[in-house]
Amino acid sequence: MLGIFGISDALALARTEGLDLMEISPNASPPVCKIDDFGKYKYELQKKAHEVKRKQKAIVTKEVKIRPTIADGDYAVKLRNILRFLQDGDRVRISLMFKGREITHKEVGFELMKRLEADLAPHAKIDSLPRMEGKQIIMLVSPKV
């Protein structure tokens, strides 16, 4: 705390020390400034931003593809993979693909998606309910918080 100075006096004081005059609070009366190395200040801000970016986790969307004629053992494997993805914190896009004339029995696909929904209920939050998109039914799930 050096007290209240005029702008020219404060700049002269900063130059004699080989540092910069940085304005901290411009809206205060009188404005608050400090004498510091601006390059060092920018470097510290850059390091903090890098640290924050390094700690954040990118949300990854994994996809699991199933068919309406899936066997029970294969269903269990797909369900186990979905649960593993959810435990890792990833979103999962479940797509049920129809081939050929299977599309005439959409109700089989929606029943399978309802079964998946029920099995995932304790572990996942349904982001997007099952819906038809072309020749496939798509559902998005994410981990429960």
pLDDT at residue 82, rounded to an integer: 96
CA distance 92 to 7: 59
Assigned CATH for 61-143 = 3.30.110.10
- The one-letter amino acid code at 47 reads K
Q: Is the entire prediction scored with pTM above 0.75? A: no
pLDDT at residue 97, rounded to an integer: 95
Confidence band of 87 (pLDDT split at 50, 70, 90): very high
pLDDT at residue 26, rounded to an integer: 87
Could you report the per-residue pLDDT of 52-86, keeping only the tens digit for each? 998 887 888 999 999 999 999 999 999 999 999 99
Q: Is the peptide bond before 30 cis (omega within 30 degrees of 0)?
A: yes
Two domains, one topology: 7-55 and 61-143: no
Which is it for the CA torsion 6, 7, 8, 13, positive or negative?
positive
So where are the chain's domains? 7-55, 61-143
Assigned CATH for 7-55 = 3.10.20.80
> Are the C-beta atoms of residues 68 and 98 closer than 8 Å to each other?
yes
Please check the confidence at residue 1 and state whether its pLDDT lies above 90: no
First vs last C-alpha separation in the chain: 47
